[in-house]
Each structure stands twice: as C-alpha cells, then as structure tokens.
Amino acid sequence: MNFVILDLEWNGAYSKKAKKFVNEIIEFGAVKTDEQFNIIDTFSMLVTPQIGKKLNSRVSELTHITTQELFDSNNTFTHVLSKFKKFLSDSILLTWGTSDILTLIENCKYYLGEEKLSFMTTYCNLQAYCEHKLGHTDKSRQMGLSTCAEQLSISTNGLELHRACDDAKLSLQCFEKLYDSSDIREFIEIANDEFYRKITFKNTVLYDLRNPLIDKKEFYICCDKCGRKARKKSKWICKNRSFRAQFRCAKCKRDFEGRITFRLKYEGVTVDRRVIEKVKGENAEKPKNILSKLIK
Ligand SMILES: [Zn+2]
C-alpha cells in the first residue's frame, strides 16, 4: 500500500454565483511513498483561479505565489484534479489536519457539483495520528506542523514552508519518524457515507439553557488544586457562550471563577471546565486546568 500526503494552498474569494466566500485552491502539492517511506513520486501544480482574480496579500506573503504565476500556469481546477486523481490512484490519502481535505471537498462541490471525493477510498488525518503518538491530549489546541517538526528535531532548512509540496514533504518526515505499523490502521478511515457526515460535521457551542442536550447535572466545578467540589458563591451567568460562576474551595481557602462550555460534536456533547484564578491586586486572569469530557 502506498501513501500520498497532500497539501493545498488556497485563497479566500467571494463567489457571486454561490453568494459566499470560497476557499479557492491555488496549488496542489503531494508526495507518494511506499510503506518503507521511499519517495516514489511527487506532485506539484498551480491552479489558475476562476473566482478570485487577485490573491489576498496574506496569501501571497505566506506562499510567495504571485497572481501572475497562477494565470501563467493556465490550469483549471478540473484539469489539475484529474492529474491528481491519476497520481493518487489507490493510495491512502493523508493530510495534516482536516482543513485541506475539507477545502478539497468544498472545491469539488463548487466546480463539479460533487459532494464526495469519488476518487478517494481511504483517508488518514496525519495531525491526529502525530498528536496521538506524541501524547498531545489537549483537544482544544491542535498541533501545528512546524511545532510537530520542532518536537521531532526535524530541520526545515532548505524547505519552502507554506508551499504545498514542501509542506507535504515536511508532513512526510514527521509521519516517518512516528510511524508504527501496529496502530496506524486505527487512524485510516474508509471514505464511506459516515466518513463524510463526520468530517463535514460543524461543531457548535451550546449556550441556551433550554436546550435538552445541556445536562443540568454538569453544572459543578472542582478545585484544580485538591480536586474537591468547590462551593458556588454566585449565580451562573452566560457570557461569551460559556457559563460562569464564582466558587470557593473550603479546603484550600481559595476563590476562583468556574467556567463551563458545552460543545456539540459529531461524537456527542462535550463539557469543558475551567478554573480561572483570581490574581491578587490585578485584573489579570489565567485559565487553568482545562478538563474536557464527553458526556453524551
Ligand atoms: Zn482545593
């Protein structure tokens, strides 16, 4: 089985046809390897934009791609995609995080009217795998590719970061360092209907108390020092989509603010609890101990 690591660059452009912003793909970069991580082939193609006629300054600064280069390449999305399909063949497709695959789905929908990537049979989120292997458990903060490379002492010298093909090569180096044939299978997903439902699921924050998915029994805060349930000293209020109240731990003789956020994810409702320390004499706040659990 071969692996294809794909990285895309895109430009946010307003489509009058769709009456919304579309992340229009401007570059495909990919590396193909065998299971021993020998590079078999690479893929690098620019796409001439059809929606946004000018690159956002942030995109051109980051990628160093110029609008002129894109128009000179004279490749439609459909053309590049058909080349990429041949390149992918029956390999496992991998991307760092889900934004690239979601952007590919978005572009296929826009240009071809297809909801699914019919050419993809199996997919793996490389970021999720690397986070798992590195023991990165804080789900509220995703690990960036360069952070991962840094942790693995992978040098980025000689690579042009934020260019599709080099980002794909860097992802590959991280993958190679962390690859373990015994647990990779758990992260390889079959691209069936459930896969699309899951990957396109929009997480939402629940903050309407009348919502039956908010379980009233979850309204408690434990002291982050001793673990005991803290005593509530004020009413719960809802602010910035989280519920907040003042608490006191009788044992530690500490006062703090407790914050609870309910999120509806594909897997169910999660509850995040935070203890916000009161810093004496200042208004400074620092969030502590983010404890996340799945409740439904
Ligand atoms: Zn305590």
Place of tokens 């509850």: 271
Whether 91 and 176 share a structural domain: yes
- Which of 177, 199, 221 corresponds to the end of one domain? 199
Whether 156 and 262 share a structural domain: no
Dump the DSSP string for the chain.
Answer: --EEEEEEEEEEEEETTTTEEEEEEEEEEEEEE-TT--EEEEEEEE---SS-SS--HHHHHHH---HHHHHHH---HHHHHHHHHHHHTTSEEEESSSHHHHHHHHHHHHHH--SS-TT--EEEEHHHHHHHHTT---TTSPPPHHHHHHHTT---TT--TTSHHHHHHHHHHHHHHH--TTTGGGGEEE-SHHHHHHHT---EEE--TT-TTS-GGG---B-TTT-PBPEE-S--EEETTEEEEEEEETTTTEEEEEEEEEEEETTEEEEEEEEEEEPTTS--EEEEEEEEEE--
Residue 267 alpha carbon to ligand 1 centre in Å = 32
Model confidence band, residue 280 (pLDDT cutoffs 50, 70, 90):
low
Residue 155 alpha carbon to ligand 1 centre in Å = 44
Whether 156 and 231 share a structural domain: no
Q: Which pLDDT does position 163 carry in this prediction?
A: 86
Whether 151 and 216 share a structural domain: no
Q: Which pLDDT does position 196 carry in this prediction?
A: 97
Residue 32 alpha carbon to ligand 1 centre in Å = 53
Residue 207 alpha carbon to ligand 1 centre in Å = 28
CA 59, 62, 64, 70 torsion-angle sign: negative
Tell me the longest C-alpha to C-alpha distance in the chain.
Answer: 70
Is the Cβ–Cβ distance between 195 and 61 less than 8 Å?
Answer: no
Residue 255 alpha carbon to ligand 1 centre in Å = 10
Quick check: 286 pLDDT over 70?
Answer: no
Residue 15 alpha carbon to ligand 1 centre in Å = 54
- Which of 145, 175, 199 corresponds to the end of one domain? 199
Residue 178 alpha carbon to ligand 1 centre in Å = 39
Q: For 65-116, write each residue's pLDDT tens digit.
A: 999 999 999 999 999 999 999 999 999 999 999 999 999 999 999 999 999 9
Residue 68 alpha carbon to ligand 1 centre in Å = 62
Whether 144 and 245 share a structural domain: no
Residue 97 alpha carbon to ligand 1 centre in Å = 38
Residue 250 alpha carbon to ligand 1 centre in Å = 7
| Tokens standing for residue 228 | 């005991």
Q: Which pLDDT does position 281 carry in this prediction?
A: 56
Residue 214 alpha carbon to ligand 1 centre in Å = 26
Whether 287 and 184 share a structural domain: no
Whether 177 and 231 share a structural domain: no
Whether 219 and 190 share a structural domain: no
Q: For 10-51, write each residue's pLDDT tens digit.
A: 999 999 998 999 999 999 999 999 999 999 999 999 999 999
Whether 9 and 141 share a structural domain: yes
Q: Which of 41-55, 134-148, 180-194 has the lowest mean pLDDT?
A: 134-148
The angle that helices 99-112 and 77-88 make with each other, rounded to 10 degrees, is 130
Residue 50 alpha carbon to ligand 1 centre in Å = 59
Of 110, 117, 70, 73, nearest in space to 95 by CA: 117
Model confidence band, residue 129 (pLDDT cutoffs 50, 70, 90):
very high
Which protein residues have a CB closer than 5 Å to ligand 1 (ion)?
A: 223, 225-226, 249, 251-252
Residue 288 alpha carbon to ligand 1 centre in Å = 14
Q: At 54, which amino acid appears?
A: K
Model confidence band, residue 215 (pLDDT cutoffs 50, 70, 90):
very high
Is the Cβ–Cβ distance between 34 and 4 less than 8 Å?
Answer: no
Q: For 216-235, write each residue's pLDDT tens digit.
A: 999 999 999 999 999 999 99
Residue 233 alpha carbon to ligand 1 centre in Å = 15
Whether 34 and 161 share a structural domain: yes
Which residues have a Cβ under 8 Å from the Cβ of 277 and sit 6 or more positions away?
256, 285, 286, 288
Q: Which pLDDT does position 158 carry in this prediction?
A: 84
Quick check: 246 pLDDT over 80?
Answer: yes
Whether 161 and 211 share a structural domain: no
Count of residues for the chain? 296
- Which of 174, 199, 224 corresponds to the end of one domain? 199
Residue 60 alpha carbon to ligand 1 centre in Å = 51
Residue 224 alpha carbon to ligand 1 centre in Å = 7
Q: Which domain holds residue 66?
A: 3-199
Q: Read off the CATH number of the domain in which 73 is found.
A: 3.30.420.10
Q: What is the mean pLDDT of the chain?
A: 92
Whether 210 and 154 share a structural domain: no
Residue 215 alpha carbon to ligand 1 centre in Å = 25
Residue 289 alpha carbon to ligand 1 centre in Å = 13
Residue 277 alpha carbon to ligand 1 centre in Å = 12
Residue 223 alpha carbon to ligand 1 centre in Å = 5
Residue 278 alpha carbon to ligand 1 centre in Å = 14
Query: In total, how many domains does the chain have?
Result: 2
